[in-house]
């Protein structure tokens, strides 16, 4: 890769490539690992309903805002604000994004590492003949270990760094174009198996029947945080990817397609998991381990489960990888363009420092389990701070920047590709980013941290 050369920025080559890469960032462990367990802990149906509302009222407008900022500025998340608002403090959003990227990747790589362990376990047929309780115990013993989880985390970070180093077109785009459709098909097959398990209806009821007595401000904030995390918004990953999108791309249609794909996969993951939770007498609020305990149970029960498990965990790892790349890219693009270092050096420094911090997150499940801050382990704390505080705050500032600083004309110019696309929902979009999204985020935020009380 060339050193610092702005005139020759890498970019996505095709429209489908943009969707695959962006959906690759959005679809990941957030959908398949995080969504079911957070929904499980937050009461199920009512959480899901609020989550869906947030995706469309807040998520899509913020995603589109990030694309606009990125493509207009053609810069990393920090440089973009410096360029569009010279001399103004908006660049703080970019700095916050870099910090969020660091925090997210530290704990995300822990779970991503677990997916590699589960590929190996699938291949060696180690779920076979085990009861639910045995599968749970074997997960817990792996997770609380030291050497193996760290080894997988390090390997995962090396894979991530390798692809980031290869660049946008020849790395990220090439692989996501094939792997994302495959993941989609496989999840549907798994859903079909899950809903045909005996007692499946209880799981579907848990997922889809809203029980509003479970709703607290904490749950509303969880839903907002999950929506932001799942769509990869609020930290500049999509500003960075937006900066690689070409001039003729229809940003609105890309944002809508990506959001719908992401949401469908989260819902499918829920359909795949909750019926089995109830069928195997597990608890829906099992937490972090939900996916790693429940899915082996299904594989153990299904015809051809051996093969399905291998393919599934490979795809889960790939889904994680297409997301970790986008997080590391935020840091690398910033290092390269702002600190003026080579892509190679930037990738090395970024990945190494994240891995070192990440090891502490991995050990949160083992020897550091008792080390707590604000009642949370390091893993839990990083997860909470990034998803529930930094991403919503980032999203809030991004819409404020677009709606109240950048101005209608510039937004229109970028969104319509200089007047070549007819904008059908422009006033709705403006209204959402100027009023609805910022007011909603601010209210939820202030309420759940206790600064205001309804
Ligand atoms: N959206 C990813 C997921 O759902 O797994 C996680 C993620 C990627 C969050 C990139 C934030 C981000 F910038």
Q: 440 in ligand 1 pocket by Cβ < 6 Å?
A: no
Q: 296 in ligand 1 pocket by Cβ < 6 Å?
A: no
Cα of 239 vs centre of ligand 1, distance in Å, is: 13
CB of 178 within 8 A of CB of 319? Answer: no
pLDDT score of 183: 85
- Cα 242 to Cα 45: distance, rounded to the nearest angstrom: 33
Cα of 435 vs centre of ligand 1, distance in Å, is: 25
Q: 326 in ligand 1 pocket by Cβ < 6 Å?
A: yes
Q: 327 in ligand 1 pocket by Cβ < 6 Å?
A: yes
- Cα 226 to Cα 50: distance, rounded to the nearest angstrom: 11
CB atoms closer than 10 angstroms to residue 197: 18
| Distance from the Cα of residue 393 to its chain's centroid | 16
CB atoms closer than 10 angstroms to residue 269: 25
- Cα 190 to Cα 290: distance, rounded to the nearest angstrom: 16
Sequence-ordered list of residues with C-beta below 8 angstroms from that of 120, at least 6 positions apart, any chain: none
- Cα 61 to Cα 52: distance, rounded to the nearest angstrom: 14
pTM across the whole model: 0.93
Cα of 303 vs centre of ligand 1, distance in Å, is: 33
pLDDT score of 446: 84
3-class secondary structure per residue, 290-341: HHHHHHHHHHHHCCCHHHHHHHHHHHHHHHHHHHHHHHHHHHHHHHHHHCCC
On the CB side of 429, CA atoms within 13 Å amount to 23
CB atoms closer than 10 angstroms to residue 225: 26
Q: 32 in ligand 1 pocket by Cβ < 6 Å?
A: no
Q: 297 in ligand 1 pocket by Cβ < 6 Å?
A: no
Is residue 189 packed enough to be buried (19+ CB in 10 Å), middle (13-18) or exposed (0-12)?
Answer: middle
Q: Which of 93, 100, 64, 66 is closest to 78 using CA atoms?
A: 93
Q: 237 in ligand 1 pocket by Cβ < 6 Å?
A: yes
Q: 309 in ligand 1 pocket by Cβ < 6 Å?
A: no
On the CB side of 124, CA atoms within 13 Å amount to 7
pLDDT score of 6: 46
3-class secondary structure per residue, the chain: CCCCCHHHCCCCCCHHHHHHHHHHHHCCHHHHHHHHHHHHHCCCHHHHHHHHHHHHHHHHHHHHHHHHHHHHHCCCHHHHHHHHCCCCCCHHHHHHHHHHHHHHHHHHHHHHHHHHHHHHHHHCCCCCCCCHHHHHHHHHHHHCCCHHHHHHHHHHHHHHHHHHHHCHHHHHHHHHHHHHHHHHHHHHHHHHHHHCCCCHHHHHHHHHCCCHHHCCHHHHHHHHHHHHHHHCCCCCHHHHHHCCCCCCCCHHHHHHHHHHHHHHHHHHHHHHHHHHHHHCCCCCCCHHHHHHHHHHHHHHHCCCHHHHHHHHHHHHHHHHHHHHHHHHHHHHHHHHHHCCCCHHHHHHHHHHHHHHHHHHHHHCCCCCCCCCECCECHHHHHHHHHHHHHHHHHHHHHHHHHHHHHCHHHHHHHHCCCCCCCCCCHHHHHHHHHHHHHHHHHHHHHHHCCCCCC
pLDDT score of 3: 41
pLDDT score of 453: 67
Q: For ligand 1, atom 10, name the residue with the nearest CA.
A: 232
- Cα 289 to Cα 41: distance, rounded to the nearest angstrom: 12
- Cα 448 to Cα 217: distance, rounded to the nearest angstrom: 5
Written as tens digits, the pLDDT of the chain (454 aa) is 334 444 467 888 888 888 988 999 999 999 999 999 899 888 899 999 999 999 999 999 999 999 999 999 999 999 999 999 999 999 999 999 999 999 999 999 999 999 999 999 999 999 999 998 999 999 999 999 999 999 999 999 999 999 999 877 777 677 777 877 888 888 898 888 889 888 889 999 999 999 889 888 889 988 999 999 999 999 999 999 999 999 999 999 999 999 999 999 999 999 999 998 888 888 888 778 888 998 898 888 877 889 889 988 988 998 999 999 999 999 999 999 999 999 999 999 999 999 999 999 999 999 999 999 999 999 999 999 998 899 999 999 999 999 999 999 999 999 999 999 999 999 999 999 999 999 999 988 887 777 776 6
pLDDT score of 444: 86
Residue-wise over 52-65: b if at least 16 C-beta within 10 A, else e? bebbeebbbbbbbb
Name beta bridge partners: 353.
none
Tokens of 49: 């309903």
């Amino acid at each position: 890769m060339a050193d610092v050369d702005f005139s020759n920025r890498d970019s996505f080559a095709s429209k489908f490539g943009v969707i695959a890469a962006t959906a690759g960032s959005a679809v990941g462990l957030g959908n398949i690992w995080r969504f079911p367990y957070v929904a499980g802990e937050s009461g199920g149906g009512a959480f899901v309903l609020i989550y869906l509302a947030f995706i469309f009222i807040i998520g899509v407008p913020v995603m589109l805002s990030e694309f606009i900022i990125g493509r207009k500025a053609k810069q990393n998340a920090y440089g973009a604000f410096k360029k569009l608002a010279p001399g103004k403090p908006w660049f703080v959003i970019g700095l916050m994004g870099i910090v969020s990227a660091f925090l997210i990747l530290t704990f995300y790589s822990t779970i991503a590492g677990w997916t590699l362990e589960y590929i190996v376990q699938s291949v060696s047929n180690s779920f076979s003949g085990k009861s639910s309780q045995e599968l749970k115990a074997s997960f817990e013993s792996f997770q609380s270990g030291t050497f193996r989880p760290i080894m997988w985390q390090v390997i995962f970070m090396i894979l991530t760094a390798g692809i980031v180093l290869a660049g946008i077109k020849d790395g990220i785009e090439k692989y996501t174009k094939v792997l994302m459709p495959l993941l989609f098909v496989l999840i549907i097959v798994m859903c079909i198996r899950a809903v045909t398990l005996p007692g499946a209806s209880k799981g579907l009821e848990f997922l889809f029947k809203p029980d509003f007595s479970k709703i607290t401000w904490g749950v509303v904030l969880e839903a907002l945080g999950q929506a932001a995390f799942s769509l990869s918004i609020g930290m500049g990953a999509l500003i960075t990817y937006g900066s690689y999108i070409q001039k003729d791309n229809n940003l609105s249609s890309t944002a809508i397609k990506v959001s719908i794909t992401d949401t469908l996969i989260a819902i499918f993951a829920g359909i795949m998991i909750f019926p089995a939770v109830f069928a195997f007498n597990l608890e829906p609020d099992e937490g972090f381990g939900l996916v790693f305990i429940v899915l082996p149970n299904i594989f153990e029960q299904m015809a051809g489960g051996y093969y399905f498990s291998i393919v599934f965990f490979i795809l889960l790892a790939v889904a994680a990888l297409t997301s970790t790349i986008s997080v590391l890219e935020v840091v690398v693009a910033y290092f390269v363009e702002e600190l003026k270092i080579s892509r190679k050096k930037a990738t090395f420094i970024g990945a190494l420092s994240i891995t070192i911090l990440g090891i502490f997150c991995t050990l949160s499940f083992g020897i550091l389990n008792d080390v707590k801050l604000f009642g949370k382990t390091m893993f839990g704390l990083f997860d909470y701070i990034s998803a529930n505080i930094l991403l919503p705050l980032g999203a809030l500032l991004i819409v404020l920047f677009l709606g109240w600083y950048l101005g209608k004309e510039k937004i229109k110019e970028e969104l319509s590709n200089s007047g070549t696309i007819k904008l059908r929902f422009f006033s709705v979009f403006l209204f959402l980013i100027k009023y609805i999204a910022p007011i909603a985020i601010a209210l939820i935020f202030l309420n759940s941290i206790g600064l205001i009380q309804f």
